Homo-oligomer: A and B are copies of this chain.
Amino acid sequence: MAARRTPVVLDAMGGDHGPDRTVPGALAAHREHGVPVILVGRADEIHRRLRRHGASGEVEVWHADDAVPMTERGGRTAFRRASSLMVGCELAGRKGLPFVSAGPTGAVVAGAVRALGRREGVRRPALAVALPTVSGSTVLIDAGGTADPTAEMLAQFATLGAAYARDVLGVRDPSVGLLSIGAEPGKGNRLVRDAARLLPDLPVRFHGNVEGHDVLAGTVDVVVTDGFTGNVVLKNIEGCVRAVLGLAADAGIADTGPLEEVARLYAADTHGGAALLGLTGTVVVAHGSSSPAAIARACAVASDLAAGHAPVHVPRAAGRGR
C-alpha cells in the first residue's frame, strides 16, 4: 500500500447515485487503497461533497458540464462531448491512465471506443469479470459489452479472455469453454454453433462447450458468451447467492456469518467492476448501484490492471482458505 500506485480517472457523475457515491468512493480509493483519483464531473457538486467530507484539495477535480443519464443506451453517448463520461475517457486517453465509470454499460462501451479506440484487429470490446470458484477464478467474458455479437466477435472474445487469464490472473495456458446448452458439439443456438466452428482454429486451448453449471465449477479458466447471456448470468449469480442466504436463514442456520462472507465474494460490491477488454487503454465498468466501497475497489482494480498487476480482488477470492 505504501508504494506509489497508478492514478485513476473516475467518472464522478456515473452510477445511480452519482457524486453521493463516487466522491466518498474516490476518497476511500485514496485513503484505503493508496490510489490517487482524478474526479471528472460538475466541479461545484463535487467540491461541495469534498468539503462535507473534510477533504477539499485531497482529490484532483476536472470539470465536465454534462452527465450521461442512466437510461442511455449507448448510441448517442459519443456525441455528449461535454459529459463526464466523454471528458473523463478523453482525459484518461491523453494521460495514459485507467478510466473507471459506474455509468450505463452501453454508454461506457460506446464512449470508451470513441475516446480510446480499439486495439488493432479487435471488432468489439468485451467485459471480463473474474468470478471466484471453488478452485480459484474463472473469467466470464462478455459480461455485457456487446449484446448481439457475431460468431466472429465471440471467437475474438475467447482470445481476449485467454489473454486476460494469462496476463492478469497468471494462468499459464488457460482453457476456454464456450457457454452453451449441452456439452456435445453442435448443441446451442445459431450463434454458439457458428462460433464453435471458429474456435478450434484460434490460438487458444479450446475445451469445447460448457454449460450453466460449469461457470462456477472451475471446469475452464475462461467462459465465453455473448454480452446478453453473460450479463444475465453475472446478475443471476448475485441473486442466487442472495436467495441461498435468505433460504438458509429461514431454514434455521444459526450462524450465517461465514455464509455472508461467501456471499460477499459474489456481490457486485466485491468483484470491483468488469474490465473492458480490446481497447488501447484500461477501462473498468462498475455496477450502477455501486457503494463507495465498490467504487474504491473498482479504482484499485483499474490501477492494478493498468500497472499490469493482478487486481487485488483476485488473490483474495482465490486465497480464501487461509
Contacts and interface: CB of A to CB of B under 8 A. Distances in A.
Interface in A246-262: 246-248, 250-255, 258-259, 261-262
Nearest to A234: B212
A147 B229 CA distance: 12
A217 B233 contact: no
A231 interface: yes
Contacts of A251: 258-259, 261-262, 320
Interface residues on A, range: 35 or more
- The number of times this chain is found in the oligomer is 2
A247 B134 contact: yes
A56 interface: no
A93 to B, nearest CB: 26
A212 B227 contact: no
A148 B192 CA distance: 11
Interface in A88-103: none
Nearest to A146: B189
A17 to B, nearest CB: 16
A211 interface: yes
Contact of A184 (B71, B186, B233): B71
A265 interface: yes
A243 B261 contact: no
Contacts of A252: 258
A109 B148 CA distance: 26
A238 interface: yes
Given A148-B189, A212-B237, A214-B239, 20 more contacts: A180-B228, A181-B228, A181-B232, A189-B226, A192-B228, A211-B235, A212-B231, A212-B233, A212-B235, A212-B238, A216-B236, A216-B239, A232-B232, A241-B244, A247-B262, A247-B265, A248-B258, A251-B258, A253-B258, A253-B259
